[in-house]
Amino acid sequence: MSTLFWISLFALGAMVVNGIGIYSIYKNRDFAEKNKTYFICFAAGVLIAAPLIHTLPHAFEKNSYAGAFALVGFLFMFFSNKIIKLKTNEKELAFGITAIEGIGIHSFIDGIIYTVTFSASTMTGVLAGVGLVAHEFAEGVIVFSVLLKSGLSAKKAALYGFLVAGLTTPLGAFIVYPLIHKLASNYLGLALGFVAGVLIYISASHLLPEAREHEKHHSHAAFLLGVLLAIALAFVE
């Protein structure tokens, strides 16, 4: 199967899972709130393990400076998040219009990650994709809650949440796809390093703190399951 097939499968799958998260909380807030922590923990496990055991080694094979670009990716996400928080003066990722901007950028970057990782190898894409898709359900729940808190009606929060957090992921993937093939192998290594830094940040600084704040009885098991899945998939290649 082609690289475009896998990118499309995961990018559109992420959009669908995000939509399911939004729909779940729109129709049944108790169910969504009860289960989002497990999705967050599982995604965090995959996204902390996959870059360290698979993405970064692949990046170093292509370019010895990949580690520096991993740091750039981490710092990019760190300061982006700081700027959004300063503009909103809120603990949440964003609020109102800034919430839409912040979440949209985040989801767009997710789409770019699919294209970069699958362009490196199918297994690299699968490892990153599993964690990203898993966290889409929780992201859908969070997006809906934030937009609802900003004063929108439930219907508008669901619609805008899907447009901003759901559709932007395949948009990012398909916009970057024609460009990624023009990159030489050494530049792809730098892109992979950058992506690894982004994934580590998402797990360590966004997903895990969120999960810890709403910790449940089997949260650690869900996290370890994500780590074990990433390790198992890495050995499949």
Residue pair 30/153 in contact (Cβ under 8 Å)? The answer is no
Structure tokens at 148: 């609802």
Q: What percent of the chain has pLDDT over 90?
A: 13
Inform me whether the pLDDT recorded for 93 exceeds 50: no
Structure tokens at 94: 């964003």
Residue pair 174/11 in contact (Cβ under 8 Å)? The answer is yes
- Range with the poorest average pLDDT among 5-14, 41-50, 173-182: 41-50
Structure tokens at 20: 């399911």
- Range with the poorest average pLDDT among 76-80, 82-86, 109-113, 183-187: 82-86
The average pLDDT across 76-84 equals 78
Cα→Cα distances 70→29, 67, 115, Å: 37, 5, 17
Residue by residue, DSSP assigns 74-123 as HHHHHHHHHHHHHHHTSSSS--HHHHHHHHHHHHHHHHHHHHHHHHH-HH
Q: Judge if pTM exceeds 0.75.
A: no
Measured distance CA(129)–CA(118) in Å, rounded: 9
Structure tokens at 140: 């859908």
Q: Quick one: which of 72, 101, 41 has its CA closest to 228?
A: 41
Cα→Cα distances 220→72, 121, 227, 232, Å: 29, 30, 11, 18
Phi, psi of 84 (to 5 degrees): -65, -45
Measured distance CA(222)–CA(150) in Å, rounded: 31
Residue pair 199/129 in contact (Cβ under 8 Å)? The answer is no
Structure tokens at 90: 């809120």
Cβ atoms within 10 Å, residue 23: 15
The average pLDDT across 23-36 equals 78
Q: Where are the domains of the chain?
A: 3-236
Measured over the CA atoms of residue 211, residue 215, residue 220 and residue 226, the dihedral's sign is: negative
The average pLDDT across 183-212 equals 81
